[in-house]
Structure 1
Amino acid sequence: MPAVAGRVAFVTGGASGLGQATCLALAAAGAHVVAADVNSDGAATTVEQVTAAGGSAAARVFDVTDADHRVAAMAELFAAHGEAFDILVNVAGIDRPGYLVDVDEAAYAQVFAVNCHGPVFLMKEFLNGYLGVRTGDREAEIFNVLSISAVTVGSGAVAYNSSKAAFTKATEIFQTEVRDFSHPCRIQGIMPAAMDTPMMEQWQIPAERMMDPADVAAEILHALQRPSTVLGQNLIFTPRPENFPR
């Protein structure tokens, strides 16, 4: 099974919630993690937690919707780490509630920019960069945090649900392309249910009805360590029924 030790991972949304939990999980397994986020203080806090636990990490101010940020980050990391930089985890996401009678166009566009468009073009920069430095036979890993909201319907969540559905479809298309063109890259995704993260505070869901981000991060780590013969797949990940009171 491929290990993550000694590899470099770029985690968007690394300042809090699932992004922070993913950074901690990957670092505990021996990866050097780059906690990338628009929230510089939160990213720095993630790095402090990683290093306090004996791991290796760096913080980077990063806006996934900014093309210049995407190009610069990938170029700099490949220049610094070469083919050791071979893990990209797209976690960053936002939610802006809106109903049919009052949905805001700018907010809707922002959600799509963060949840779908930005990650799609970050994947492009990452794969092209990896193809440019790869000398061995190891595959790069792209892991996308999707959402069960991509396949469910939630009132007031047209922007979030639609963006996650679009990103899920983009992920499926890219999974097909890397196989069709024999790119040295595996793409996987996960569709978690509601997690106890800062993004969910606006919905006022009781904490006992939400998942622990650390559990989802553990599944991401497990997926990255699957044998290379396991092709990219998208997992629906929800609590056990007995742990999900109704």
Structure 2
Amino acid sequence: MSVNGTHGPLAGKTALVTGASRGIGRAIALRLAAGGARVGVHYASNEAAAKETVAAIEAVGGSAFALRTELGVPGDADALWAAFDAAAGGGHQGLDILVNNAGIAGPGLIHEVEEADYDQVFAVNAKAPFFIIKKGLDRLRDGGRIINISSGVTKVAFPGMTSYAASKGAVEVLTLTLAQTLGSRGITVNAVSPGTIETDIHPWMADAAAKAHAAGFSVFDRVGQPEDVADVVGFLASDDARWITGQNIDASGGSGLGL
């Protein structure tokens, strides 16, 4: 990663990425920092990984800070913004780019999903972004960007991820609605839907046959990398995407086009 600093397309901007200590979130934080943004690296539990993300950004001249809050619990949005203010320097901090990336999966087939499982998946994946946005609107600057990370599982029937897919479907409808609501402020609201991405939350990819099978989902016959998604987010965060709002950008490498 190289940082464009004061000359980058995101120079002078402040961003917050939830779930940014590893995987897709980490790649997004690195990408926004490379564009010149100061990045808030949110994490829920893995402090070491969050510090590594901040250190990687700072090592090449970027600016970042870590903040820890748990999502999916009562008062999570208020706690997140309080932690953001404290970590960013105190006071009521302004924001230009909000990326709702944090998410969890859970038991998939409907007969496997208990009510507590369902509630937790929706609390983290759908309710938390809703109230993070609501509580953050007074600090999100006009002309800002909201980018919600959805999933390719909303586009095809995927019985193994029933509650997860439903929660991401809710995020996509929220994205569409907020784009209409916030357009008068020049704020764009978009979603990005990754396909199968190689991260440490998919240990099954260590099996060559399983990874090859996953690669076959894409027309490019390879498994997606976190950077493949982060670059799309970087575009949506930039002024180049000023005329794009209310969209769900497929970032799955053409997965399922032949279905």
TM-score, normalised to structure 1, is 0.84
Match of 1:185 in 2: 187
Q: CA deviation at 1:67?
A: 4.7
Match of 2:111 in 1: 101
Matching of residue 32 in structure 1 with residue 46 in structure 2 = no
Matching of residue 57 in structure 1 with residue 61 in structure 2 = no
Structure 2 contact 146–189 (Cα < 8 Å) conserved: yes
Cα gap change, 1:190 to 1:66, in 2 (>3 Å)? same
Cα gap change, 1:70 to 1:169, in 2 (>3 Å)? same
Matching of residue 143 in structure 1 with residue 147 in structure 2 = yes
Q: How does 1:87-98 map to 2 (within 5 A)?
A: 87-98=97-108
Matching of residue 129 in structure 1 with residue 139 in structure 2 = yes
From 227, 230, 235, give the equivalent of 2:244: 230
Match of 1:214 in 2: 227
Q: Which amino acid aligns with 1:88?
A: L
Cα gap change, 1:110 to 1:44, in 2 (>3 Å)? same
Higher deviation after alignment, 190-199 or 115-124: 190-199
Aligned residues: 232
- Report the 3-state secondary structure (helix = DSSP H, G, I; strand = E; otherwise coil) of the residue aligned with 1:189: strand
Query: 1:192, 1:102 → 2: CA distance?
Result: 25
- Report the 3-state secondary structure (helix = DSSP H, G, I; strand = E; otherwise coil) of the residue aligned with 1:222: helix
Structure 2 contact 175–246 (Cα < 8 Å) conserved: no
Q: Which amino acid aligns with 2:155?
A: V
Query: 1:104, 1:61 → 2: CA distance?
Result: 28
Q: CA deviation at 1:108?
A: 1.8
Q: Which amino acid aligns with 1:91?
A: N
Match of 1:43 in 2: 50
Match of 1:5 in 2: 11
Query: 1:238, 1:101 → 2: CA distance?
Result: 28
Higher deviation after alignment, 26-35 or 67-76: 67-76
Query: 2:147, 2:105 → 1: CA distance?
Result: 20
Structure 2: segments with no counterpart, 5+ residues: 1-7, 216-222
Match of 1:20 in 2: 26
Match of 1:163 in 2: 167
Structure 1: segments with no counterpart, 5+ residues: none
Structure 1 contact 64–122 (Cα < 8 Å) conserved: no
Structure 2 contact 20–26 (Cα < 8 Å) conserved: yes
Structure 1 consecutive aligned stretches of length 4 or more whose deviation exceeds 4 Å: 77-82, 202-205
Query: 2:254, 2:174 → 1: CA distance?
Result: 28
